[in-house]
């Protein structure tokens, strides 16, 4: 299991320090929640902030774009140092083109699905994705309650990917992930868990990372 802490729950006044502390604690990925106030009812940071912090960190930058028409900004996020861009299937009209462009720019490509979005939207882009993100809350805010229908959705997604010969495609879960649901999520087939409040609310980072890994049986 890979844990990707969401900086949405970190102290924005000391992000450079936090990134260094995460790395020292043994974290490998970090999750950036980019929100535009349109696709979701909240705003956060964008490519300029990520670019400014790239030099402070060797972590894998997992960038979750909760923005309308993300295709407008793919090259900007590449220049900012993103390693993976995850776009919402609901936010881009030409999903396959957007995913192909992310890969062409040299990044890993991911698709996020809102809780009510069916898995079939992935049926004809299975060869174009490196990761599928199952939202386990409606996106926009940290600290929300995990939606239990996610367990079945993750299991069905993992089965769909394996049946399509894409057992290498990562499954990520984001929203309300905590020590209590980590085991069931990994057993259902999740590879990458995002955690905001349940991670940053319980320092020190090294111990919290160890607790998540133990919960996942790693
Ligand atoms: C929600 C974001 C999540 C959020 C997770 O819109 O995409 O990444 O930060 O936070 P928690 O773990 O607190 O639900
Ligand atoms: Zn997210």
Per-residue pLDDT tens over the stretch 113-143? 999 999 999 999 999 999 999 999 999 999 9
pTM: 0.98
Among 46, 36, 33, 41, residue whose Cα is nearest residue 5: 33
Instruction: Specify whether the CB–CB gap between 121 and 94 falls below 8 A.
Output: no
> Which residues contact ligand 1 via a Cβ below 6 A?
6, 8-9, 31, 33, 64, 137, 139-144, 174-177, 194-198
pLDDT of residue 196: 98
**To which residue do tokens 């309650």 refer?**
145
**To which residue do tokens 């974290």 refer?**
27
Residue nearest to atom 3 of ligand 1 (CA): 175
pLDDT of residue 108: 99
* Rounded mean pLDDT, 85-113: 99
Is 174 among the residues known to form the active site?
A: yes
CA–CA distance, 144 with 159 (Å, rounded to integer)? 27
Q: Where are the domains of the chain?
A: 2-215
Domain 2-215 of CATH type 3.20.20.70: yes
Counts of helices then strands in the chain (DSSP H, E): 8, 8
Is 128 among the residues known to form the active site?
A: no
* Rounded mean pLDDT, 102-106: 98
* Rounded mean pLDDT, 83-110: 99
89: tokens are 């299937």
194: tokens are 């995002």
pLDDT of residue 169: 98
Q: Kindly state the helix (H) or strand (E) to which residue 159 belongs, with its residue range.
A: helix 149-163
* Rounded mean pLDDT, 190-207: 98
CA-140 nearest atom, ligand 1: 6
pLDDT of residue 127: 98
pLDDT of residue 93: 98
pLDDT of residue 40: 98
Spatial CB neighbours of 45, under 8 Å, sequence gap ≥ 6? 12, 32, 34
Mutate to test the pocket of ligand 1, among 175, 182, 212 (most ligand atoms within 8 A of CB): 175
How do residues 140-186 score in pLDDT, each as one tens digit? 999 999 999 999 999 999 999 999 999 999 999 999 999 999 999 99
User: Which residues partner with 133 through β-bridges?
Assistant: 112, 172
Q: Which residues surround ligand 2, an ion (CB under 5 A)?
A: 33, 64, 174
How do residues 1-53 score in pLDDT, each as one tens digit? 999 999 999 999 999 999 999 999 999 999 999 999 999 999 999 999 999 99
Spatial CB neighbours of 201, under 8 Å, sequence gap ≥ 6? 9
pLDDT of residue 62: 98
Q: From the candidates 36, 62, 174, 191, which is the catalytic residue?
A: 174
- Residue 49 C-alpha to ligand 1 middle, in angstroms? 18
**To which residue do tokens 């069905």 refer?**
156
Instruction: Specify whether the CB–CB gap between 23 and 56 falls below 8 A.
Output: no
pLDDT of residue 73: 98
CA–CA distance, 160 with 69 (Å, rounded to integer)? 27
pLDDT of residue 84: 99
């Amino acid at each position: 299991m890979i844990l990707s802490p969401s900086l949405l729950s970190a102290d924005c006044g000391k992000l450079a320090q936090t990134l260094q502390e995460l790395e020292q604690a043994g974290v490998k990925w970090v999750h950036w929640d980019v929100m535009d106030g349109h696709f979701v009812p909240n705003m956060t940071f964008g490519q300029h902030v990520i670019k400014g912090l790239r030099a402070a960190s060797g972590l894998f930058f997992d960038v979750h774009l909760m923005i309308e028409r993300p295709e407008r900004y793919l090259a900007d996020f590449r220049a900012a140092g993103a390693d993976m861009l995850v776009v919402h299937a609901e936010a881009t009209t030409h999903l396959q083109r957007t995913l192909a462009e992310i890969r062409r720019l040299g990044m890993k490509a991911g698709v996020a699905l809102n809780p009510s979005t069916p898995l079939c939207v992935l049926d004809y882009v299975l060869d174009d994705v490196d990761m599928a993100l199952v939202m386990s809350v409606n996106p926009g805010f940290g600290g929300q309650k995990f939606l239990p229908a996610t367990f079945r959705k993750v299991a069905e997604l993992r089965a769909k990917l394996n049946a399509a010969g894409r057992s290498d495609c990562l499954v990520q879960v984001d929203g309300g992930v905590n020590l209590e649901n980590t085991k069931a999520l990994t057993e259902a087939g999740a590879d990458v868990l995002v955690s905001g409040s349940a991670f940053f609310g319980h320092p020190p980072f090294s111990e919290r990372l160890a607790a998540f890994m133990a919960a996942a049986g790693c």
